[in-house]
Amino acid sequence: MARHDRRVGYVLPTVLAIGLHVLMVILSTISLPTGEPEPTSSSIVQATLVSTETTTDQAQRAQEARERAAARRAEEAERQAAEQAEAERRAEEQRAQAEAEREAEREAAQREREAARQQAEAEAQRRAEEAEQQAQRRQQEEAERQAEAERQRQAEEAERQRQAEEAERQRQAEAERQRQAEEAERQRQAEAERQRQAEAERQRQAEAERQRQAEEAERQRQAEEAERQRQAEAERQRQAEAERQRQAEAERQRQAEEAERQRQAEAERQRQAEEAERQRQAEAERQRQAEAAQRAAEAAANQSLEQAIAGESVANAAQGQEAANGFINLVRQAVEQSWSIPPGSTDGVLAVISVRLGPSGELLDATISQSSGNSAFDQSALQAVQRAEPFSELRRLPVTTQREFRQFNLRFQPGDVR
């Protein structure tokens, strides 16, 4: 659009200049009638013809010079427009949406410069027209001054062209400086973007490492939990198998006893009475032995505690013993609160659970070291220990006694845990 406007601006002055020169040639060849006839002179005619030809040649050369200048300006404008369009296309591909406002400002500046250039061309055209009119009046008044006026006009035209070219060079230099500044700004922004992306990548890797460590810890915890569940399930299966075998054996004994009772009812009743008495005595013996074992274990624990703190003061020993007793009482209370005694459990049943703790009081293992003969009762005791963990009170004990209390037995009887 800008190239079309520049062509229109140069064509009209060119046509006017050509018409003006043709009119000057015609006027110079036509002689107006005078009162006295002029003598014919071949020398005068010849001089006139030479003068006419010189004026025409000058006008033609001036016209050709203007046309060449106009063509050069048009070509330069086209080249500049093409280069600018190419540069804008490349810049448009590279710039992001954030540079749209700067592009609008540059276009506004370009339009202002274009308007200023067009105004300068209009002013030059107006001056050219005024110069042509003055030259025509001077030629009409005095033909001898035409050559001088033409030279002056050409000099003015050359000066205007030089000024226009100088202005164009300054505009191009300004555009180049602006392009370099924009290029530097783009490079700075690109460097800032690279640094931001590098920082984001470092943060992403750090976050990924944290997630990986958390996932690894979670997998390890799940593996430990799965191992504990697997061990508990294996223990439950073992106990269930033992219970099934016991029940099968009991069923076989019951059938045999039923047959014997049918055959000898009175003798069987007497035998059952004697068997009940023996079982009661055996149960009493087992309880006595379990209590003796418990007392022995407590005595051993007390002896180990005394040996561990033999070098300490009496006050520290008393404090350690008090903390140990408090720890045992807290464990018993926690297990009792978590224990649901199955219905139908008789007062004589007894189950012993072996407990093994970690350094922080977490439950590492819980097994049935002595079965009560009732699978439901045994499982309820084992589940009570599992639900009561962790026993974090272990960390409150003195360091010298913690290891001795990480493994102990719990005796479960209906209404009592020891």
Amino acid, res. 204: R
User: What pLDDT score does 6 carry?
Assistant: 47
CA distances from 164 to 170, 375, 402 (A): 10, 111, 99
Q: pLDDT tens digit string along 101-155?
A: 888 888 888 998 998 899 989 998 999 899 888 878 888 888 888 888 899 999 9
**Could you tell me which residues come within 8 angstroms of residue 409 by beta carbon, excluding any fewer than 6 positions away?**
294, 297, 352, 353, 354, 355, 369
Torsion sign, CA atoms 205, 208, 214, 219: negative
Q: pLDDT tens digit string along 176-224?
A: 999 999 999 999 999 999 999 989 999 999 898 988 998 988 988 998 8
- Tell me: the pLDDT tens digits for 304-363? 545 544 544 444 556 656 767 778 888 888 888 888 888 887 878 899 999 998 888 888
Contact 324, 401 (CB under 8 A): yes
Sheet holding 363-370, edge to edge: 363-370, 351-357, 407-413, 416-417
Q: pTM of the full predicted structure?
A: 0.28
Nearest to 373 by CA among 250, 277, 272, 206: 250
Q: What is the pLDDT of residue 170?
A: 94
Domain ranges in the chain are 2-28+48-95+105-204, 236-417
Is-contact 59 21, C-beta < 8 A? yes
**Crossing angle of helices 146-263/42-94, nearest 10°?**
10
pLDDT digits (tens, 9 = 90+) for 391-403: 888 788 877 777 8
For the domain made up of 236-417, give the CATH fold. Answer: 3.30.1150
Contact 301, 400 (CB under 8 A): no
What is the per-residue pLDDT for 383?
A: 92
